[in-house]
Structures are given as structure tokens and as C-alpha cells.
């Protein structure tokens, strides 16, 4: 009887442990910055940011390869510091925000590259086209809010790039942009 109870308890512990190892977080939309830059006809790099970002993170500090991340970006929230240009970028010439309002990234594989760094590969969906993209991610820190110890925040920085025309953004070339779009991401996430 004792053996059965012990075996049952051990089994439950083993089964439960992977779930317990990973912590769940919601990205704080007020502290999430997804910015990008792309070559503008050789003169400069045009910069922009998406103002509305949400998502969730499952972060396993013991084995980061078991972590995962999902980010959703509102394509219509693009801001390049010029309202007319933003309207054009939302049009079917570029992001087609009315038909494809969400840009998403869902991780599919994570490779640890250092104590606090990893390569996160995932499916990036832009304008209805999905292709794998790899981000270089750094885990910055995790701590409670100074004024509210019950709220724990963690923070990551990430960089990566992809070719716009590969995602159907064929007009980029015509307008002297790209072809590569470099991403610079910083997000803070609140532990659930």
C-alpha cells in the first residue's frame, strides 16, 4: 500500500514537473517596442515602430529550449513619423492592414547560445504569408515591481531580420526600400 502511494506520488511529481518548470507571462503592451528599419534608396535607414503589441511567453529558466513565445502585432499601428506615409504602408502596396490586421510570430524552436542568450526560430506571418525567421534573444532580468512585490516582470531584447519581398512586400523595391527589414524588439512581460 505504502509502495503504491509512493509510486503514485512520484509519478504525479514527474508528470507535473515540466509544467511547473516553465513560468507563464503576458507581454505588457505598454512596455513593448517592436521597431524596424530598412534601407531607403541608399540614403539612410528608414525607421518605424508598431505601437500595439501583445502576446504571451512561456519561460523555462532551467531549460530554455522548452520555452515558447507568441507575439501579435497590430499592422495598423505602424508609425514612421509621417501620417501620410503610414497610410501608404497600411495599404495593399505594403502591409494590407485592412485585410491582414495581425502580424504574428510563433516560436517553433529555441537554441541556447549563452547564459542569457538564445536563438528563437519561429513562424512569422506578414500579409498572410508565413515563413520561418530566427531572432537573437537576450534575457535581461526578472524582478518584482519596486512598488508592488506581487507583480513580477521579466524582460527580453531581440534582434532579427527578414526579406520583405519574400513575404509578398514586392512594392518595397519599387519604392527604393529594403529588401531586408531589421527588427529590434524589447518587451517586458508580467508573470501570471
Partner 1 sequence: MIADLILWTVLVPLALGLALGLFSRHAGERRALGGGLLFVLALLAVVAIEGMPVFPPVAGKQKLPFVLAGLAVLFFLLGHVRRPAGRLPAAATVLLAAAVPAVWIGYRILSAAPVKAFLVFGLLFFFALAAALLSPSPRSRAQGQAPLAALLFALIATAVVSVTGGYIGMAQVCGAAAAATGGWLLLSYVAYLGGDDAAMHPGPQPLLAWLVLTALLMAVTALLAPSANPVALVLAALPLALAAWLERRGPDLPRALQPVAAGAICAVPALAAILVSVLA
Residues lying near partner 1 in the complex (CB under 8 A) are found at 84, 87-88, 90-93, 96-100, 127-129, 168, 170-171, 174-176
Nearer of residues 5 and 41 to partner 1, judged by Cβ? 41
Q: In the complex, what is the shortest distance from the CB of residue 94 to partner 1, in angstroms, rounded to a whole number?
A: 9
* Nearer CB in complex with partner 1: 109/170: 170
Q: How far is the CB of 190 from partner 1 (least distance, A)?
A: 31
Taking the complex as a whole, how short is the minimal distance between the CB of residue 61 and partner 1, in angstroms? Answer: 39
Closest distance to partner 1 from the beta carbon of 17 (Å): 42
List the beta strands (DSSP E) in the chain. 22-40, 44-50, 53-60, 68-74, 78-79, 102-112, 117-126, 129-145, 148-163, 177-191
Q: Which of 4, 44 has the CB closer to partner 1?
A: 44
CA distances from 185 to 9, 50, 98, 130, 190 (A): 43, 10, 24, 19, 17
Buried b vs exposed e over 21-60: b needs ≥16 C-beta within 10 Å? ebbebebbeeebebebbbbeeeeeebebbbeebbbebbbb
Q: Which is nearer to partner 1, 63 or 87 (CB)?
A: 87
Nearer to partner 1, 6 or 98 (CB): 98
- All three cell numbers of 60, joined, read 523555462
Task: Report d(CA 72, CA 23) in Å as an integer.
Answer: 20
Least Å distance, CB 99 to partner 1, is: 5
Amino acid at each position: 500500500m505504502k509502495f503504491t502511494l509512493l509510486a503514485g506520488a512520484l509519478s504525479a511529481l514527474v508528470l507535473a514537473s515540466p509544467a511547473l518548470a516553465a513560468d507563464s507571462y503576458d507581454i505588457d503592451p505598454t512596455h513593448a517596442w517592436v521597431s524596424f528599419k530598412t534601407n531607403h534608396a541608399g540614403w539612410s535607414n528608414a525607421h518605424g515602430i508598431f505601437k500595439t503589441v501583445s502576446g504571451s511567453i512561456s519561460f523555462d529558466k532551467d531549460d530554455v529550449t522548452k520555452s515558447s513565445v507568441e507575439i501579435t502585432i497590430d499592422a495598423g499601428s505602424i508609425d514612421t513619423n509621417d501620417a501620410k506615409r503610414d497610410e501608404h504602408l497600411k495599404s495593399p502596396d505594403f502591409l494590407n492592414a485592412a485585410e491582414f490586421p495581425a502580424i504574428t510570430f510563433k516560436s517553433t524552436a529555441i537554441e541556447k547560445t549563452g547564459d542569457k542568450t538564445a536563438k528563437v526560430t519561429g513562424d512569422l506571418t506578414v500579409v498572410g504569408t508565413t515563413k520561418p525567421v530566427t531572432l537573437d534573444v537576450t534575457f535581461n532580468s526578472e524582478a518584482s515591481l519596486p512598488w508592488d512585490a506581487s507583480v513580477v516582470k521579466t524582460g527580453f531584447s531581440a534582434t532579427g531580420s527578414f526579406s520583405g519581398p519574400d513575404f509578398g512586400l514586392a512594392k518595397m523595391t519599387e519604392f527604393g526600400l529594403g529588401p531586408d527589414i531589421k527588427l529590434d524588439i524589447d518587451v517586458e512581460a508580467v508573470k501570471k
